[in-house]
Amino acid sequence: MRPTARRFVLLIGVFCTGTAWLSACHYDWELPADSADAAIDASSNPTSDGGSIDSGVDVPLVTSGDCDSSSACDAGFVCHFTDLLCGRGVAGKCTSVESLNGGAACPNAFDGGPSAGGAVACGCDAKPRSPLCQVYQSGTDLSVEGGCPLSMGQQRCGYLICTTATSFCVFHEQSGSYSCEAWGACSTKDCACAKSIACTNGACGAISGGSFGGVTVDCP
């Protein structure tokens, strides 16, 4: 009998270190606006540049024991760490790929860049894949610390990689998930426009990183 369990993703803070965290340092944070009623759940409005660990389908995770790597798991299972730290934190559980993908079929892979309907996701093997579900299909878990190499014009967004010309990073506190949201009709790609799309009462950081700069919105 396989017990069911729900996964929870810990809120990973942004640290100014030499390691690969959410993104680079030098944040110019704005105070959240006092307009909680205007908040928009960006995760419920996916875009072609977006990606999230939550599929919107309530599918329980199917697990089959503890693990420290996917090599300890049966076929069709990967070693999933609820903190997405790839074994550097909590112990892993062998979890079915189908349940991690929300019970949905996974589109064909496109390694190294974005594909239609999904953002680039970073796995524990430090390899970028798209769409996000292909990380699990490849036998590894998501890495919230990143670790995948960035190309010019890309921004690290937790376990995702956003293309700054077309999208910005959003962290959804309630679900602990990340998404790359499209700039849409924004004439100026800044915090004001990003918050109008993601959540008006969120905190926003503009990262000064040259070719690797970007905007991140933290939505409550």
Per-residue pLDDT, averaged over 160-174, amounts to 92
| Dihedral sign of CA atoms 105, 109, 112, 113 in order | negative
* Closest to 23 in 3D by CA, of 209, 211, 190: 209
Tokens representing 169 are 């990073």
pLDDT of res. 31: 34
In a domain, 167, yes or no: yes
pLDDT of res. 208: 56
* Residue found by looking up tokens 């503890």 in the block: 66
Q: Which domain holds residue 50?
A: 22-55+104-219
In a domain, 32, yes or no: yes
Query: pLDDT digits over 21-37, tens only?
Result: 333 333 333 334 443 33
Distant-in-sequence, close-in-space partners of 220: CB < 8 Å, separation ≥ 6: 32, 36, 39, 173, 174, 199, 201, 202
Query: pLDDT digits over 40-76, tens only?
Result: 333 333 333 444 444 344 455 667 788 999 999 999 9
- Give the confidence band of 212 by pLDDT, cuts at 50, 70, 90: low
Q: Is 80 exceeded by the pLDDT of residue 137?
A: yes
pLDDT of res. 174: 93
Distant-in-sequence, close-in-space partners of 26: CB < 8 Å, separation ≥ 6: 207, 208, 209
In a domain, 131, yes or no: yes
In a domain, 28, yes or no: yes
Burial of 85 (0-12, 13-18, 19+ CB in 10 A): middle
Number of domains in the chain: 1
pLDDT of res. 118: 53
pLDDT of res. 85: 95
Give phi and psi for 51, each to the nearest 5. -160, 145
Query: pLDDT digits over 173-199, tens only?
Result: 999 999 999 998 888 889 999 999 999
- When the pLDDT of each residue in the chain is averaged and rounded to a whole number, the result is 73
Per-residue pLDDT, averaged over 94-106, amounts to 88
